Amino acid sequence: MAERIDGRVRADQVLAEVQTGAMAFREATGRPPGLAIVLVGDHPASLSYIRSKEQAATKGGLYSETHRLPATMAEDALRRFVGRLSEDERLDGILVQLPLPETLRQEEVLAALPPDKDVDGFTTLNQGRLLAGEAGLRPCTPLGVIDLLRWHGVSLDGANVVVIGRSRTVGRPLALMLLEQHASVTVLHSHSQSLAQDVLRADVVIAAAGQAGIVRREMVRPGAVVIDVGINRVDGKLVGDVAADVADVASAMTPVPGGVGPMTVAMLMANTLEAARWHY
Ligand code: NDP
Protein backbone atom coordinates (compact mmCIF):
# COMPACT_ATOMS: atom_id res chain seq x y z
CA MET A 1 0.00 0.00 0.00
CA ALA A 2 1.35 3.40 -0.99
CA GLU A 3 2.63 5.72 1.70
CA ARG A 4 0.48 8.81 1.98
CA ILE A 5 2.24 12.06 1.10
CA ASP A 6 0.26 14.32 3.37
CA GLY A 7 0.01 17.81 1.90
CA ARG A 8 -1.77 19.18 4.96
CA VAL A 9 1.11 18.25 7.25
CA ARG A 10 3.72 19.72 4.92
CA ALA A 11 1.62 22.85 4.27
CA ASP A 12 1.44 23.50 8.02
CA GLN A 13 5.22 23.25 8.20
CA VAL A 14 5.60 25.69 5.30
CA LEU A 15 3.16 28.11 6.94
CA ALA A 16 5.07 27.88 10.24
CA GLU A 17 8.26 28.78 8.34
CA VAL A 18 6.43 31.66 6.64
CA GLN A 19 5.22 32.88 10.03
CA THR A 20 8.77 32.96 11.39
CA GLY A 21 9.94 34.83 8.30
CA ALA A 22 6.97 37.22 8.46
CA MET A 23 7.75 38.03 12.11
CA ALA A 24 11.36 38.82 11.27
CA PHE A 25 10.21 40.94 8.32
CA ARG A 26 7.83 42.85 10.57
CA GLU A 27 10.56 43.51 13.12
CA ALA A 28 12.85 44.81 10.39
CA THR A 29 10.32 46.96 8.54
CA GLY A 30 7.52 47.76 10.99
CA ARG A 31 4.85 45.99 8.92
CA PRO A 32 3.92 42.43 8.00
CA PRO A 33 4.14 41.17 4.41
CA GLY A 34 0.83 41.99 2.71
CA LEU A 35 -1.37 40.13 0.24
CA ALA A 36 -4.42 41.37 -1.68
CA ILE A 37 -6.88 38.82 -3.00
CA VAL A 38 -9.16 39.95 -5.81
CA LEU A 39 -12.25 37.94 -6.64
CA VAL A 40 -14.44 38.94 -9.55
CA GLY A 41 -17.89 37.37 -9.44
CA ASP A 42 -19.00 34.61 -7.10
CA HIS A 43 -17.88 31.32 -8.60
CA PRO A 44 -18.52 28.85 -5.72
CA ALA A 45 -15.17 27.03 -6.03
CA SER A 46 -13.34 30.37 -6.12
CA LEU A 47 -15.15 31.48 -2.97
CA SER A 48 -13.93 28.39 -1.18
CA TYR A 49 -10.35 28.86 -2.51
CA ILE A 50 -10.16 32.45 -1.35
CA ARG A 51 -11.41 31.47 2.11
CA SER A 52 -8.58 28.97 2.47
CA LYS A 53 -6.12 31.61 1.23
CA GLU A 54 -7.38 34.11 3.82
CA GLN A 55 -7.01 31.50 6.57
CA ALA A 56 -3.52 30.56 5.43
CA ALA A 57 -2.50 34.23 5.34
CA THR A 58 -3.56 34.57 8.97
CA LYS A 59 -1.68 31.38 9.92
CA GLY A 60 1.42 32.63 8.12
CA GLY A 61 1.34 35.97 9.95
CA LEU A 62 0.62 38.02 6.82
CA TYR A 63 -1.62 41.04 6.39
CA SER A 64 -4.32 40.23 3.86
CA GLU A 65 -7.28 42.01 2.34
CA THR A 66 -9.93 40.60 0.04
CA HIS A 67 -11.70 42.59 -2.64
CA ARG A 68 -14.91 41.12 -4.01
CA LEU A 69 -15.92 42.76 -7.25
CA PRO A 70 -19.05 42.27 -9.36
CA ALA A 71 -18.95 39.84 -12.30
CA THR A 72 -20.21 42.69 -14.47
CA MET A 73 -17.05 44.74 -13.90
CA ALA A 74 -15.50 46.07 -17.13
CA GLU A 75 -12.00 44.95 -18.06
CA ASP A 76 -10.60 48.50 -18.02
CA ALA A 77 -12.03 49.19 -14.59
CA LEU A 78 -10.57 45.94 -13.27
CA ARG A 79 -7.16 46.77 -14.73
CA ARG A 80 -7.27 50.19 -13.10
CA PHE A 81 -8.32 48.61 -9.80
CA VAL A 82 -5.39 46.18 -9.91
CA GLY A 83 -3.10 49.06 -10.89
CA ARG A 84 -4.18 51.07 -7.83
CA LEU A 85 -3.66 48.08 -5.53
CA SER A 86 -0.17 47.60 -6.91
CA GLU A 87 0.77 51.13 -5.78
CA ASP A 88 -0.14 50.31 -2.18
CA GLU A 89 3.13 49.83 -0.31
CA ARG A 90 1.52 47.61 2.32
CA LEU A 91 0.84 45.03 -0.37
CA ASP A 92 3.67 42.80 -1.56
CA GLY A 93 1.50 40.35 -3.43
CA ILE A 94 -1.66 40.65 -5.50
CA LEU A 95 -3.64 37.62 -6.44
CA VAL A 96 -6.40 37.76 -9.02
CA GLN A 97 -8.43 34.61 -8.51
CA LEU A 98 -8.93 32.67 -11.74
CA PRO A 99 -11.00 31.83 -13.68
CA LEU A 100 -12.36 35.29 -14.45
CA PRO A 101 -15.89 35.72 -15.80
CA GLU A 102 -15.97 35.03 -19.54
CA THR A 103 -16.40 38.71 -20.42
CA LEU A 104 -12.90 39.46 -19.11
CA ARG A 105 -9.71 38.51 -20.90
CA GLN A 106 -7.35 36.83 -18.46
CA GLU A 107 -4.18 37.92 -20.30
CA GLU A 108 -5.22 41.58 -20.32
CA VAL A 109 -6.05 41.57 -16.63
CA LEU A 110 -2.87 39.76 -15.60
CA ALA A 111 -0.85 42.25 -17.64
CA ALA A 112 -1.94 44.94 -15.17
CA LEU A 113 -0.03 43.18 -12.37
CA PRO A 114 3.52 44.31 -11.69
CA PRO A 115 5.70 41.16 -11.96
CA ASP A 116 7.25 41.77 -8.52
CA LYS A 117 3.77 41.50 -6.93
CA ASP A 118 2.58 38.63 -9.14
CA VAL A 119 2.61 36.01 -6.36
CA ASP A 120 0.79 33.47 -8.56
CA GLY A 121 3.67 33.64 -11.04
CA PHE A 122 1.29 33.83 -14.01
CA THR A 123 2.45 37.02 -15.74
CA THR A 124 4.29 36.68 -19.00
CA LEU A 125 7.46 38.13 -17.50
CA ASN A 126 7.57 35.66 -14.61
CA GLN A 127 6.82 32.78 -16.94
CA GLY A 128 9.62 33.96 -19.22
CA ARG A 129 11.98 34.16 -16.25
CA LEU A 130 11.17 30.55 -15.42
CA LEU A 131 11.91 29.53 -19.00
CA ALA A 132 15.18 31.47 -18.92
CA GLY A 133 16.16 29.99 -15.54
CA GLU A 134 16.20 33.44 -13.93
CA ALA A 135 14.97 34.27 -10.43
CA GLY A 136 11.30 35.25 -10.30
CA LEU A 137 8.00 34.37 -8.67
CA ARG A 138 7.07 30.81 -9.66
CA PRO A 139 3.52 29.39 -9.94
CA CYS A 140 2.31 27.99 -6.63
CA THR A 141 0.94 24.56 -7.63
CA PRO A 142 4.17 23.44 -9.36
CA LEU A 143 6.17 24.84 -6.41
CA GLY A 144 3.99 22.79 -4.08
CA VAL A 145 4.48 19.61 -6.12
CA ILE A 146 8.27 20.00 -6.19
CA ASP A 147 8.32 20.74 -2.46
CA LEU A 148 6.21 17.66 -1.64
CA LEU A 149 8.52 15.43 -3.69
CA ARG A 150 11.61 16.86 -1.97
CA TRP A 151 9.95 16.55 1.46
CA HIS A 152 9.15 12.91 0.76
CA GLY A 153 12.79 12.32 -0.18
CA VAL A 154 12.16 11.61 -3.87
CA SER A 155 15.29 12.21 -5.91
CA LEU A 156 14.43 13.96 -9.16
CA ASP A 157 17.95 14.03 -10.58
CA GLY A 158 17.83 11.72 -13.60
CA ALA A 159 14.36 10.39 -12.71
CA ASN A 160 11.81 9.70 -15.43
CA VAL A 161 8.91 12.00 -14.64
CA VAL A 162 5.65 12.05 -16.57
CA VAL A 163 3.44 15.13 -16.30
CA ILE A 164 -0.10 14.77 -17.64
CA GLY A 165 -1.30 18.26 -18.59
CA ARG A 166 0.39 21.20 -20.28
CA SER A 167 -1.59 24.18 -19.03
CA ARG A 168 0.11 27.51 -18.60
CA THR A 169 -0.58 27.49 -14.87
CA VAL A 170 0.25 23.90 -13.91
CA GLY A 171 1.66 21.36 -16.40
CA ARG A 172 3.95 23.57 -18.44
CA PRO A 173 5.67 25.49 -15.59
CA LEU A 174 5.90 22.24 -13.63
CA ALA A 175 7.74 20.58 -16.52
CA LEU A 176 10.25 23.46 -16.57
CA MET A 177 10.75 23.29 -12.81
CA LEU A 178 11.32 19.54 -13.00
CA LEU A 179 13.95 20.15 -15.67
CA GLU A 180 15.64 22.58 -13.28
CA GLN A 181 15.82 19.63 -10.87
CA HIS A 182 17.49 17.54 -13.62
CA ALA A 183 14.55 15.17 -14.15
CA SER A 184 13.90 13.63 -17.58
CA VAL A 185 10.45 14.99 -18.29
CA THR A 186 7.68 13.72 -20.57
CA VAL A 187 4.68 16.01 -20.91
CA LEU A 188 1.42 14.39 -22.04
CA HIS A 189 -1.75 16.13 -23.19
CA SER A 190 -5.00 15.47 -24.98
CA HIS A 191 -3.23 14.76 -28.30
CA SER A 192 -0.78 12.25 -26.80
CA GLN A 193 -1.01 8.86 -28.50
CA SER A 194 0.63 6.56 -25.97
CA LEU A 195 -0.39 7.83 -22.56
CA ALA A 196 -0.63 4.41 -20.90
CA GLN A 197 2.80 3.24 -22.15
CA ASP A 198 4.45 6.55 -21.25
CA VAL A 199 3.02 6.56 -17.75
CA LEU A 200 4.19 2.97 -17.23
CA ARG A 201 7.82 4.04 -17.77
CA ALA A 202 7.69 6.76 -15.12
CA ASP A 203 9.43 6.79 -11.76
CA VAL A 204 7.21 9.73 -10.84
CA VAL A 205 3.74 10.34 -12.30
CA ILE A 206 2.14 13.77 -11.91
CA ALA A 207 -1.46 13.98 -13.04
CA ALA A 208 -2.79 17.48 -13.78
CA ALA A 209 -5.40 16.87 -16.47
CA GLY A 210 -8.66 17.48 -14.62
CA GLN A 211 -9.96 14.05 -15.71
CA ALA A 212 -11.10 11.78 -12.90
CA GLY A 213 -9.47 8.36 -13.06
CA ILE A 214 -7.21 9.11 -16.04
CA VAL A 215 -4.37 7.33 -14.23
CA ARG A 216 -5.39 3.72 -13.68
CA ARG A 217 -3.72 0.99 -11.62
CA GLU A 218 -2.41 -1.01 -14.58
CA MET A 219 -0.70 2.09 -16.00
CA VAL A 220 1.53 2.63 -12.98
CA ARG A 221 4.87 0.89 -12.55
CA PRO A 222 5.04 -0.84 -9.14
CA GLY A 223 6.99 1.41 -6.78
CA ALA A 224 6.37 4.64 -8.70
CA VAL A 225 5.55 7.86 -6.82
CA VAL A 226 2.23 9.41 -7.83
CA ILE A 227 1.24 13.05 -7.34
CA ASP A 228 -2.39 13.87 -8.01
CA VAL A 229 -2.98 17.53 -8.83
CA GLY A 230 -6.47 17.03 -10.27
CA ILE A 231 -9.59 18.29 -8.59
CA ASN A 232 -12.81 16.87 -9.99
CA ARG A 233 -16.30 16.69 -8.60
CA VAL A 234 -17.88 13.29 -9.22
CA ASP A 235 -21.32 12.55 -7.75
CA GLY A 236 -20.86 15.47 -5.38
CA LYS A 237 -17.52 14.12 -4.15
CA LEU A 238 -14.09 15.67 -4.63
CA VAL A 239 -11.71 13.29 -6.40
CA GLY A 240 -8.38 13.59 -8.17
CA ASP A 241 -7.15 12.34 -11.55
CA VAL A 242 -5.77 9.12 -10.12
CA ALA A 243 -7.91 6.03 -9.45
CA ALA A 244 -7.94 5.05 -5.77
CA ASP A 245 -6.55 1.55 -6.39
CA VAL A 246 -3.31 3.02 -7.79
CA ALA A 247 -2.38 3.09 -4.09
CA ASP A 248 -2.00 -0.73 -4.33
CA VAL A 249 1.00 -0.40 -6.66
CA ALA A 250 2.54 3.05 -6.05
CA SER A 251 5.18 3.44 -3.35
CA ALA A 252 3.79 6.82 -2.33
CA MET A 253 0.83 8.92 -3.37
CA THR A 254 -0.87 12.22 -2.52
CA PRO A 255 -4.53 12.15 -1.45
CA VAL A 256 -7.29 14.36 -2.88
CA PRO A 257 -8.28 16.36 -0.97
CA GLY A 258 -5.33 16.99 1.36
CA GLY A 259 -2.44 16.64 -1.07
CA VAL A 260 -1.41 19.29 -3.58
CA GLY A 261 -4.33 21.65 -2.73
CA PRO A 262 -3.07 22.83 0.69
CA MET A 263 0.46 23.07 -0.73
CA THR A 264 -0.68 25.47 -3.45
CA VAL A 265 -2.11 27.77 -0.80
CA ALA A 266 0.97 27.50 1.44
CA MET A 267 3.27 28.31 -1.48
CA LEU A 268 1.24 31.43 -2.21
CA MET A 269 2.11 32.65 1.29
CA ALA A 270 5.76 31.70 0.81
CA ASN A 271 5.77 33.67 -2.46
CA THR A 272 4.24 36.69 -0.70
CA LEU A 273 7.00 36.61 1.92
CA GLU A 274 9.60 36.30 -0.83
CA ALA A 275 8.09 39.25 -2.72
CA ALA A 276 8.09 41.29 0.51
CA ARG A 277 11.79 40.62 1.01
CA TRP A 278 12.47 41.84 -2.54
CA HIS A 279 10.61 45.04 -1.77
CA TYR A 280 13.17 45.86 0.94
P1 NDP B 1 -6.51 22.82 -17.82
O2 NDP B 1 -7.88 22.38 -18.18
O3 NDP B 1 -6.08 24.20 -18.10
O4 NDP B 1 -5.45 21.83 -18.49
C5 NDP B 1 -5.65 20.47 -18.50
C6 NDP B 1 -4.53 19.81 -19.25
O7 NDP B 1 -4.73 18.41 -19.25
C8 NDP B 1 -4.42 20.24 -20.71
O9 NDP B 1 -3.08 20.41 -21.05
C10 NDP B 1 -5.06 19.09 -21.46
O11 NDP B 1 -4.50 18.85 -22.75
C12 NDP B 1 -4.72 17.92 -20.58
N13 NDP B 1 -5.70 16.86 -20.73
C14 NDP B 1 -7.03 16.96 -20.61
N15 NDP B 1 -7.62 15.77 -20.87
C16 NDP B 1 -6.62 14.92 -21.16
C17 NDP B 1 -6.57 13.55 -21.52
N18 NDP B 1 -7.69 12.82 -21.63
N19 NDP B 1 -5.37 13.00 -21.76
C20 NDP B 1 -4.24 13.71 -21.66
N21 NDP B 1 -4.22 15.01 -21.30
C22 NDP B 1 -5.40 15.60 -21.07
O23 NDP B 1 -6.39 22.52 -16.26
P24 NDP B 1 -5.32 23.03 -15.16
O25 NDP B 1 -3.96 22.76 -15.62
O26 NDP B 1 -5.69 24.38 -14.71
O27 NDP B 1 -5.68 22.05 -13.97
C28 NDP B 1 -5.55 20.65 -14.10
C29 NDP B 1 -6.24 20.00 -12.92
O30 NDP B 1 -5.58 20.39 -11.73
C31 NDP B 1 -7.70 20.40 -12.73
O32 NDP B 1 -8.40 19.32 -12.19
C33 NDP B 1 -7.63 21.52 -11.70
O34 NDP B 1 -8.82 21.65 -10.96
C35 NDP B 1 -6.50 21.01 -10.85
N36 NDP B 1 -5.79 22.06 -10.13
C37 NDP B 1 -5.48 21.79 -8.84
C38 NDP B 1 -4.79 22.69 -8.10
C39 NDP B 1 -4.45 22.33 -6.71
O40 NDP B 1 -4.06 23.21 -5.97
N41 NDP B 1 -4.56 21.06 -6.32
C42 NDP B 1 -4.38 23.99 -8.64
C43 NDP B 1 -4.67 24.15 -10.04
C44 NDP B 1 -5.37 23.20 -10.75
P45 NDP B 1 -4.61 19.95 -23.95
O46 NDP B 1 -3.58 20.99 -23.62
O47 NDP B 1 -4.26 19.18 -25.15
O48 NDP B 1 -5.99 20.48 -23.91
Q: CA neighbours within 13 Å on the CB side: how many for 100?
A: 19
Q: What are phi and psi of 30, to 5 degrees?
A: 85, 5
Instruction: Report how far apart, in Å, the C-alpha atoms of 25 and of each of 32, 87, 159, 187, 277 are.
Output: 6, 20, 37, 39, 7
- 211 CA closest ligand 1 atom index: 15
pLDDT for residue 231? 97
Q: Is 97 a catalytic residue?
A: yes
Q: Assess whether the C-beta atom of 215 lies below 6 angstroms from ligand 1.
A: no
pLDDT for residue 280? 84
pLDDT for residue 17? 98
pLDDT for residue 159? 98
Domains and CATH numbers, the chain: 31-114 (3.40.50.10860), 140-261 (3.40.50.720)
> What is the per-residue pLDDT across 98-119, written as a single tens digit (0 to 9) for each?
999 999 999 999 999 999 999 9
Judge contact between 199 and 172, C-beta under 8 A: no
Q: Assess whether the C-beta atom of 210 lies below 6 angstroms from ligand 1.
A: yes
Is 28 buried (19+), middle (13-18) or exposed (0-12) by CB count in 10 A?
A: exposed
Question: How many CB atoms are located within 10 Å of the residue 176 CB?
Answer: 18
pLDDT for residue 84? 98
Taking Cα atoms as reference points, which of 80, 94, 112, 108 lies closest to residue 33? 94
Judge contact between 37 and 48, C-beta under 8 A: no
| In the chain, alpha helices (H) | 7-29, 44-59, 75-87, 106-110, 124-132, 140-151, 171-180, 195-200, 260-278
> What percentage of the chain carries pLDDT values higher than 70?
100
Question: How many CB atoms are located within 10 Å of the residue 4 CB?
Answer: 15
Left (φ > 0), alpha (ψ -120 to 50) or beta: where does 223 sit? left
- 256 CA closest ligand 1 atom index: 41
Which residue, judged by its Cα, is nearest atom 21 of ligand 1?
189
Which residue, judged by its Cα, is nearest atom 36 of ligand 1?
230
Please list the ranges in the chain whose pLDDT falls under 50. Answer: none
Query: Does 70 sit behind a cis peptide bond, omega within 30 degrees of 0 on the bond before it?
Result: no
Strand order in the sheet with 93-96: 63-69, 34-40, 93-96
Q: Is 106 a catalytic residue?
A: no
